[in-house]
Structure 1
Amino acid sequence: MKVRKAFTADALGIAKVQVDTWNTTYRGIVPDVFLDSMTYESREHKWKEILSQGATVYVAESEGICGFASAGTQRSNKYPAYEGELYAIYVNEENQRRGVGKGLLEPVVKELVKQKIFAVTVVVLQENPSRYFYEFLGARIIDTIETEIAGKRIPELVYGWKDIREILIK
């Protein structure tokens, strides 16, 4: 497996991982109508936009893109003690629990540290079994919120690291 910074040309590969992972992870949690409406094309367009703006995005490759992670400054003003946010980290089902997530997180953490961003949050659907990945890496629950997807209110957990450099030690 190879991890590298993402390019605009990776948008379709990232979109496929995102759509496929949402369908395998969130089926039964998120309304089917929403999951069934997700398309590679719509997500590819969104990722081209994100990548063209110079976002911090890394991809993992193993016979094509099998995972990605993105992060940057905190999008919410709700957590002033946390200046950064892990926006997304997705690994396709067949590559989960093989170190791909940790492999993706390391360069993202290094990139944030270069930007002097140390305290970071990540928001995870409460029923997402992958949330334990963050706990294993030292994140602590700092808030519980709700989001609405296709008319359904879904609980989310907000995790935080006071110093993401701890991840590099684990």
Structure 2
Amino acid sequence: MKIRKANLNDAEGIAKVHVDSWRTTYRNILPDHFLQSLSYDQRTDIWKTNFSHKNNYIYVAENNEGEIIGFGTCGKREKNKVEHSGDLTSIYLLEEYQGTGTGKQLLMQLFNQFKELNFNSVFVEVLEDNKTRYFYEYYGAELLKSEKINIAGTELNLLVYAWKDIDNVLAKF
């Protein structure tokens, strides 16, 4: 397994992981018709646009055959007004690679990026029913608040977590 900085040529592979992981991660959370309507082509276009944003940091995980099996992204959301802070915006893995340490390696890479950007704290948003929140909690994320959101006609609880000390997180690796 290899973690590396992504490039525009990775957009299609990232899109495939994005769609496939949403279909497994959000099964029984979001409506099936919504998950089945997700499109590789549409997500590829979105990812090509994501690469054009200079404050978007995108990393991919590859298996031994060089196939993209996961990705992680970070930066600073426009709505984040906290000085010296950033946002972990996503970590997604194909289901068969979950629990293999790949997510941990992506998280470490993202936190090294935060350190390089001189951020002191990091926020992450995760759906309450998404078991990934336990992964974030394990690495020290503290729950700040919960808010209601609507995705595909379904009301969900969005949890906002924060890591208040990047060095504490990096020390866990």
Q: TM-score, normalised by structure 2?
A: 0.92
Partner of 2:41: 41
8 Å contact from structure 2 (residues 84, 118) kept in 1: no
SS of corresponding position for 2:99: coil
Where in structure 2 are the equivalents of 1:68-79 lying within 5 Å? 68-77=71-80
Q: For 1:164 and 1:45, locate their aligned partners in 2 and report how far apart those are by CA, in whole Å.
A: 32
SS of corresponding position for 1:98: coil
Deviation at 1:82, TM superposition (A): 7.0
Deviation per CA, 1:3-53, whole angstroms, max 9, x where unpaired?
A: 000000000111111110110110110122221111111011000111133
Q: For 1:105 and 1:122, locate their aligned partners in 2 and report how far apart those are by CA, in whole Å.
A: 12
8 Å contact from structure 1 (residues 82, 162) kept in 2: no
Q: For 2:85 and 2:34, locate their aligned partners in 1 and report how far apart those are by CA, in whole Å.
A: 31
8 Å contact from structure 1 (residues 74, 83) kept in 2: no
Q: For 2:127 and 2:47, locate their aligned partners in 1 and report how far apart those are by CA, in whole Å.
A: 21
SS of corresponding position for 2:89: strand
1:65 equivalenced with 2:71 (yes/no):
no
Q: For 2:125 and 2:148, locate their aligned partners in 1 and report how far apart those are by CA, in whole Å.
A: 10
Where in structure 2 are the equivalents of 1:1-170 lying within 5 Å? 1-54=1-54, 55-62=56-63, 63=65, 64-77=67-80, 80=82, 83-170=85-172
Q: For 1:133 and 1:146, locate their aligned partners in 2 and report how far apart those are by CA, in whole Å.
A: 22
Name stretches of at least 5 consecutive residues in structure 1 with no aligned partner: none
Percent identity of paired positions between Structure 1 and Structure 2: 45
SS of corresponding position for 2:100: coil
Q: For 1:17 and 1:165, locate their aligned partners in 2 and report how far apart those are by CA, in whole Å.
A: 30
Counterparts in 2 of 1:28 and 1:12: CA distance versus 1, 3 Å? same
Query: Could you tell me which amino acid in structure 2 is paired with residue 26 of structure 1?
Result: Y
8 Å contact from structure 1 (residues 140, 161) kept in 2: yes
Deviation at 1:98, TM superposition (A): 0.8
Query: Could you tell me which amino acid in structure 2 is paired with residue 16 of structure 1?
Result: K
Q: How many residues align?
A: 169
SS of corresponding position for 1:52: coil
Deviation per CA, 1:128-165, whole angstroms, max 9, x where unpaired?
A: 11210000000010110122111111111111000122
Query: Could you tell me which amino acid in structure 2 is paired with residue 118 of structure 1?
Result: N
Deviation at 1:90, TM superposition (A): 0.4
Name stretches of at least 5 consecutive residues in structure 2 with no aligned partner: none
